[in-house]
Amino acid sequence: MEYQSTVLSNGIRYIHVPTDRYVAHLAVIINAGARDELSHEYGLAHFIEHVIFKGTSKRKAYHILSRLEDVGGELDAYTTKEDTVVYSSFLKKYFDRAAELTADILINSTFPSKELEKEKEVIFDEINSYFDSPAEQIYDDFENKIFDQHHLGHSILGSKESLETFNKQSVQDFIKRTYNTDQMMICSIGQIPFEKAVNIIEKYFQVIPSNPRKWSRLAFSNYKPFHVEQNFSTHQAHCIVGNQTYDAFHPKRKILLLLNNILGGPGLNSRLNLSLREKYGWVYNIESNYAQYSDIGLWSVYFGSDKSNYEKVLKHLKKELQIISELRLGPKQLNKAKQQIIGQMAMASENNTDMLVAIGKSYMMYNQLDSFEETKAFVNNISSEQIQEVAFEVFNPNQLSVFTFL
């Protein structure tokens, strides 16, 4: 992949990928998320993601929302356990406008008390919507149990009790502590000369004083498998089976990505979907996921089924995990799986917004980007023996945890 990069004088990194399209994209990725909150701050990273749009020293909320919308662009943000991302899409001629607006909300937000209180009500509704959706709530409850008493465990949304305590001072304290310039990544995609883009980025972001991070995250190291069933007044049973696994720097992480795709990835021909939904009709939805954090990974399978089918679905799932751990994939199966994930990666690269954030996160973590051809070559070199080895480790029945709403 063709790209150019630089480092601003304050330590913020910037990477640009040229394209020949009229639409450009810009994102600022901050290596700070829910796991960086102190115990009295749960939900604060996500709260800040909301309130940075509520006014700056020179703009009211309406003017922030209209600045790109008026020219057909979009501005948005989201929070994860480890990141806060502000991103935008716009016609290429508005690159300067997008950069100036993004810098303004990150540097000059005033956090008016009235707007903070109003946004708390919005997030209260968001929390309630999760309680109305057991298929979403179970992920939070599962991770809270997996990462018991650790900052990775609590919900990104926080709780109503913690949100009530937030004010302008708590917002500013979190930003001062976690929005470190050496932990910020600016990335862009567009038909814009690199030199011009750098000048614009420097003009608006170099004014941020250098403040390198002087603290490190507390690693999680106390995983204990469990089997929990909770009574839940719904028609369906909802279940997650999972295990802690490789972090974002582990050499086996890409092998697990392929294995996860074979087992229960987005393709309707995944092994779990073909057997448990298509063959038996026991589940409405089944999928496997692999979340990579900087110091740990989490692999899991979620399924929703009629409560009368719960036990046999769980039994069949564990049997499928045992089979894939004990029997190596044949050459045809392996080649098919490789071509599928390579095709999915190629399709994903057509979505420039998704690619923008992927590029930024990759460069932030590894300080380099693998080209599509390099990734393709790695996938093609994965052997059935490697897949079996990873399956044996990750799907170890003695290490699996089960969390169920019944």
Q: What does pLDDT average to over the chain?
A: 96
Banded model confidence at residue 2, pLDDT cuts 50, 70, 90: confident
Token pair 């290429």 is found at 92
| Distances, alpha carbon 173 to alpha carbons 38, 179, 216, in Å | 11, 10, 17
191 and 237 assigned to the same domain: no
The pLDDT value recorded for residue 53 is 97
Quick count: other Cβ atoms within 10 Å of Cβ 78? 14
- pLDDT tens digits for 214-264? 999 999 998 999 999 999 888 899 999 999 999 999 999 999 999 999 999
Residue pair 206/365 in contact (Cβ under 8 Å)? The answer is no
The answer to whether residue 141 scores a pLDDT higher than 80 is: yes
163 and 242 assigned to the same domain: no
The pLDDT value recorded for residue 251 is 97
Banded model confidence at residue 352, pLDDT cuts 50, 70, 90: confident
214 inside domain: no
Q: Are strands 23-30 and 236-245 parallel, antiparallel or unpaired?
A: unpaired
Percent of the chain with pLDDT over 90: 93
- pLDDT tens digits for 264-322? 999 999 999 999 999 999 999 999 999 999 999 999 999 999 999 999 999 999 999 99
316 inside domain: yes
* Residue 55 DSSP label: B
35 and 154 assigned to the same domain: yes
The pLDDT value recorded for residue 130 is 87
Domain interval for residue 184: 4-205
| Distances, alpha carbon 385 to alpha carbons 245, 288, 321, 329, 334, in Å | 18, 21, 16, 8, 11
The pLDDT value recorded for residue 350 is 86
Write the single-letter amino acid at 83: D
The answer to whether residue 1 scores a pLDDT higher than 80 is: no
Instruction: Give the total number of structural domains in the chain.
Output: 2
Residue pair 157/130 in contact (Cβ under 8 Å)? The answer is yes
- pLDDT tens digits for 97-121? 999 999 999 999 999 999 999 999 9
What is the three-class DSSP state of 403?
strand
- How confident is the model over 383-392, as a mean pLDDT? 98
The pLDDT value recorded for residue 326 is 96
243 and 286 assigned to the same domain: yes
CATH of the domain at 276: 3.30.830.10
99 and 59 assigned to the same domain: yes
179 and 252 assigned to the same domain: no
The pLDDT value recorded for residue 349 is 86
Cβ-proximal residues to 36 (8 Å cutoff; 6+ apart), any chain: 45, 82, 151, 178, 217
Token pair 């990759």 is found at 362
124 and 16 assigned to the same domain: yes
The answer to whether residue 136 scores a pLDDT higher than 80 is: yes
The answer to whether residue 149 scores a pLDDT higher than 90 is: no
Domain end residue (candidates: 170, 205, 240):
205
- pLDDT tens digits for 353-367? 888 999 999 999 999
The pLDDT value recorded for residue 183 is 98
- pLDDT tens digits for 12-40? 999 999 999 999 999 999 999 999 999 99
The pLDDT value recorded for residue 340 is 97
- How confident is the model over 120-135, as a mean pLDDT? 93
Closest CA to 391 of 335, 341, 323, 330: 323
